[in-house]
Amino acid sequence: MAIKTMIRWPKKISRSLVEQLIRAEKDPQKALVIFDAAAAEYANGYKHDHNTFGLMISRLLSANQFRPAEDLLNRMKDEKCKITEDTFLSICRAYGRVHKPGEVIRIFQKMKEYDCEATPKSYVTVFSILVDENQLKVAIKFYKYMRQMGIPPSVVSLNVLIKALCKNGGTINAALQIFHEMPSHGCSPDSYTYGTLINGMCRLKRVREAKELFAEMGTKGCLPSVVTYTSLIHGLCLSNDLDEAIGLFEEMKEKGIVANLYTYSSLMDGLCKGGRCSQAMELLEIMTTEHLQPNTVTYSSLINGLCKEQRLSEAVELLDRMKLRGFKPDAGLYGKIITGFCVAQKFQEAANFLDEMVFGRISPNRLTWGLHVRINNTVVRGLCETDPNRSFQLYLSMRTRGISVEAETFDFLIDSFCKKGDLHKAARIVEEMVLDGCIPNETTWSTVLRGFWDRKKVREAAELIQVELVKKSIESH
């Protein structure tokens, strides 16, 4: 009860005071201590109600402290405090936020135990969480259960169902069918319905149908949101209809709809992939003047596009801008820069960026590992011609970092050091090549043998010269 010495409670505790103290405490556990301390003042006439219980549960859920939150539910039941539907739904949403759809279902089913009647709001909320978590089979089963329980279709529930069916190509036609059947259920499609369908169609590159739905929206009095415009712009970019995408972007601005980060990023990505980086860079400047800061995806699209157009100095400048803004480039983004320098045959610069990755402890993930292996091997081979020593250092670094060396890379290294006359390194590489399970071919063996043969001939010539010099010295005496 040490908390009593910390808080001087008035003779009469009000719920507003308790709520104020709980909200003011940043640490949820300390807030719970305050909550319990207030209850200890019951002798003075105070008792928690569903508002203070609900607030404390919300504080615990915000810190993902689910067990203490559910313990409070039990206390509410024991203290015969009314438990509202919103309290249960707050727990469901919290479990959805941490991607635990099974727990969402469990909490929903517990409502009966606590004499809390689930209204259509609860059913739709749980249904929506399941769809957002891509638990589509479970979500469809839950929707059928809703109907069995007598929950009538509504615009909200049908919108969630359409969203679920738009998730993949196999069910999007069913989404369209439900869309067309909505009036028969007494429901009129709204802007969200159209936006969901347009987004689904665009993702599946059914842009013509998406455009038809977009045009139909206007005739039905449904205003497209920035999300709908962005979806269609993205779809047009995927179809390489870049001029139409730009036209839609301008139309959107003329109608007073403010483009967001995703609108700009979608259009810039499309322009970069279409070889129109200059326009994308112009959009970047417009975007920043509108106080929208680019994110990692935006920078990545622009840098990739600039590298493909061999505008490497601009790509590097943009990479520096990105780092100055506090973004840490990943291995995939470095890979695009390094690949650009390799294509331009600028292997020294490519090696510098590989070094930067190592010093920055930037490692590829499972998806980019294969690309990273290819890039390292390409740079080593490229350096063999101009800087064999650096090539060898990078080769050693690859082995240290567990990056597999390709057979062609071994061949390039061996040939390079044989030509240089550094047979010690050549022999070492052959040995490591065999240890890696990569058997040298006939050409590689020939290169090594030729190197040793050439070295032997040089030694013999030196010995002959030495003998001739000794003979001449004796004769002169």
137-151: pLDDT as tens digits: 899 999 999 999 999
What is the pLDDT, as a whole number, of residue 175? 92
410-419: pLDDT as tens digits: 888 888 888 8
Locus of tokens 């590298």: 307
Residue 402 pLDDT greater than 70, yes or no: yes
User: Which are the contacts of 458, defined by CB distance < 8 A and separation ≥ 6?
Assistant: none
Taking residues 95-120, what's their average pLDDT? Answer: 92
Q: Could you tell me the pTM of the whole model?
A: 0.77
Dihedral pair phi/psi, residue 402, rounded to 5°: 75, 25
Residue 29 pLDDT greater than 80, yes or no: yes
The residue ranges of DSSP E strands in 109-160, in sequence order, are none
Q: What is the 3-state secondary structure (H, E, C) of 412-473?
A: HHHHHHHHHCCHHHHHHHHHHHHHCCCCCCHHHHHHHHHHHHHHHHHHHHHHHHHHHHHHHH
Residue 327 pLDDT greater than 60, yes or no: yes
Locus of tokens 């709204």: 190
Band of pLDDT at residue 38, cut at 50, 70 and 90: confident
Locus of tokens 């990943």: 330
State what percent of residues in the chain have pLDDT above 90. 58
What is the pLDDT, as a whole number, of residue 45? 66
255-275: pLDDT as tens digits: 999 999 999 999 999 999 999
Q: Say how far apart CA 216 and CA 211 lie, in whole Å.
A: 9
User: Which are the contacts of 207, defined by CB distance < 8 A and separation ≥ 6?
Assistant: 201, 232, 235, 236, 238, 239, 241
Among candidates 167, 216, 168, 166, which has minimal Cα distance to 191? 216
**How far is CA 280 from each of CA 269, 272, 301, rounded to the nearest angstrom?**
8, 6, 9
User: Which are the contacts of 432, defined by CB distance < 8 A and separation ≥ 6?
Assistant: 399
What is the pLDDT, as a whole number, of residue 8? 73
What is the pLDDT, as a whole number, of residue 318? 95
Q: Rounded to the nearest 10 degrees, how much is the dihedral formed by the CA atoms of 368, 369, 373, 375?
A: 20
What is the pLDDT, as a whole number, of residue 433? 82
Residue 146's Cβ-side half-sphere holds a number of Cα atoms within 13 Å equal to: 27
What is the pLDDT, as a whole number, of residue 121? 94
Locus of tokens 């990273």: 372
Taking residues 105-119, what's their average pLDDT? Answer: 92
Residue 448 pLDDT greater than 70, yes or no: no
Among candidates 464, 451, 393, which has minimal Cα distance to 423? 451
Taking residues 430-436, what's their average pLDDT? Answer: 83
What is the pLDDT, as a whole number, of residue 65? 93
Residue 467 pLDDT greater than 80, yes or no: no
Q: Say how far apart CA 314 and CA 307 lie, in whole Å.
A: 9
Residue 465 pLDDT greater than 50, yes or no: no
Q: Say how far apart CA 233 and CA 248 lie, in whole Å.
A: 7
Locus of tokens 């309290």: 87
Q: Of 26-30, 304-308, 405-409, 429-433, where does mean pLDDT reach its minimum?
A: 429-433
Q: Rounded to the nearest 10 degrees, how much is the dihedral formed by the CA atoms of 23, 24, 27, 32?
A: -50
Task: Return the number of other C-beta atoms located less than 10 Å from residue 253's C-beta.
Answer: 14
Residue 199 pLDDT greater than 90, yes or no: yes
351-400: pLDDT as tens digits: 999 999 989 888 888 888 888 999 999 999 999 988 999 999 999 999 98
Burial of 110 (0-12, 13-18, 19+ CB in 10 A): middle
Locus of tokens 């010539």: 461
What is the pLDDT, as a whole number, of residue 468? 47
Identify whether the C-beta of residue 218 lies closer than 8 Å to the C-beta of residue 189. Answer: no
What is the pLDDT, as a whole number, of residue 39? 77
234-250: pLDDT as tens digits: 999 999 999 999 999 99
Q: Of 23-32, 36-45, 222-231, 349-358, where does mean pLDDT reach its minimum?
A: 36-45
DSSP string computed for 278-331: HHHHHHHHHHHHTT----HHHHHHHHHHHHHTT-HHHHHHHHHHHHHTT----H
What is the pLDDT, as a whole number, of residue 99? 92
Residue 424 pLDDT greater than 90, yes or no: no
Identify whether the C-beta of residue 299 lies closer than 8 Å to the C-beta of residue 317. Answer: no
